[in-house]
Structure 1
Amino acid sequence: MRKMQFMSVLSLIFLLIGHSVLAAETKKVEFFGVGATVTELANQEFKVETKGEKEGEGFVHTPSAPTSTTVKYKVTLKGTGNVYLKIEETDARGTFLNEVKSEEIQLTDEWKEYELDAKIASTQSQLDVFVLTSTKQAMEFLFKNAEVLNE
């Protein structure tokens, strides 16, 4: 009887440990507003509402460390107004190294994927990727599938 209780307790411990390991591996990707509010909708889609107080409002995301010095920022956008994509590179101390900015993008009512390629100084760099308004304007746009690929 004791052996059966011991085995039950042991099985329960393995189940709990396995569940916590899986939960730790599920990392929620976070996007932060820059002069804007970011709201998660259904199906990994997000809504960005800018305040219109200055140029350069939108959202920022910090992806995991790059594994290549050539990266590609991809994001799917929908809305009205003009935005640009931007990649900022900093070193481990937070010192600014490089900025790559796209041309102005005219958003449409249909989902469209946009890309921005960048050559970075080091795989030790931290990247911040943005979608920002190109002028001082209050606006609303949607995005999904924001990712940084190592080329």
Structure 2
Amino acid sequence: MRKIQFIGVFSLIFLLIGHSVLAAETKKVEFFGVGATVTELANQEFKVETTGEKEGEGFVHTPSAPTSINVKYKVALKGEGKVYLKIEETDARGTFLNEVKSEEIQLTDEWKEYELEAKIASLQSQLDVFVLTSSKQETTFFFKNVEVLNE
């Protein structure tokens, strides 16, 4: 009887540990639409469809906490229309601290990688990275390989 209880407890512990390890490995990176719909496609590619109601539609992503005051935002894009990259920095209370915006980018039907560098005020800051339309335009674009590097 003791042997059966031991096996039962051991099995339960194994299942709980295995589940938490598996959950850590399958952490999903989230992207949210800003006046747009974001759809995940195959191979870590995403489709963004904007409504065209206002300038500044696209997507936002909040990466993990920075470990350096120098950060680089990288993303591969293709599609139609004009967009820009943006890094926005806020403090722990959500107070706006800083914004860095790229020049306007004319998208093409071929994948192209873009970068935007920023110097942030604090390692306690929260960063949000965006790709947004530069004018009122209903458009569709695609993105992949989003990275925020600490340099």
String of CA shifts for 1:61-117, please: whole Å, max 9, x gaps.
Answer: 111110100000011111111100000000011110000000011111111111100
Quote the residue 1:40 is aligned against.
40
Unpaired segments ≥5 residues, structure 2: none
Per the TM alignment, residue 3 of structure 1 is displaced from its structure 2 partner at its CA by 4.0
Per the TM alignment, residue 20 of structure 1 is displaced from its structure 2 partner at its CA by 2.5
Quote the residue 1:63 is aligned against.
63
Quote the residue 2:10 is aligned against.
11
Per the TM alignment, residue 55 of structure 1 is displaced from its structure 2 partner at its CA by 0.7
Per the TM alignment, residue 139 of structure 1 is displaced from its structure 2 partner at its CA by 0.2
- Equivalences for 1:70-149 in 2 at 5 Å? 70-149=70-149
In the aligned structure 2, how far is the partner of 1:50 from the partner of 1:63?
22
String of CA shifts for 1:117-146, please: whole Å, max 9, x gaps.
Answer: 000000000000000001110000010111
**TM-score normalised per structure 2:** 0.95
Counterpart amino acid of residue 22 in structure 1: V
Per the TM alignment, residue 42 of structure 1 is displaced from its structure 2 partner at its CA by 1.0
Aligned residues: CA RMSD:
1.1
SS at match of 1:52: coil
Per the TM alignment, residue 147 of structure 1 is displaced from its structure 2 partner at its CA by 1.5
In the aligned structure 1, how far is the partner of 2:112 from the partner of 2:18?
37
SS at match of 2:4: helix
Counterpart amino acid of residue 104 in structure 1: E
Per the TM alignment, residue 15 of structure 1 is displaced from its structure 2 partner at its CA by 2.0
In the aligned structure 2, how far is the partner of 1:50 from the partner of 1:138?
5
In the aligned structure 1, how far is the partner of 2:142 from the partner of 2:17?
36
Query: Which structure 1 residue ranges, 4+ long, deviate > 2 Å from structure 2?
Result: none
In the aligned structure 1, how far is the partner of 2:78 from the partner of 2:6?
55
SS at match of 2:77: strand
Aligned residues: 150
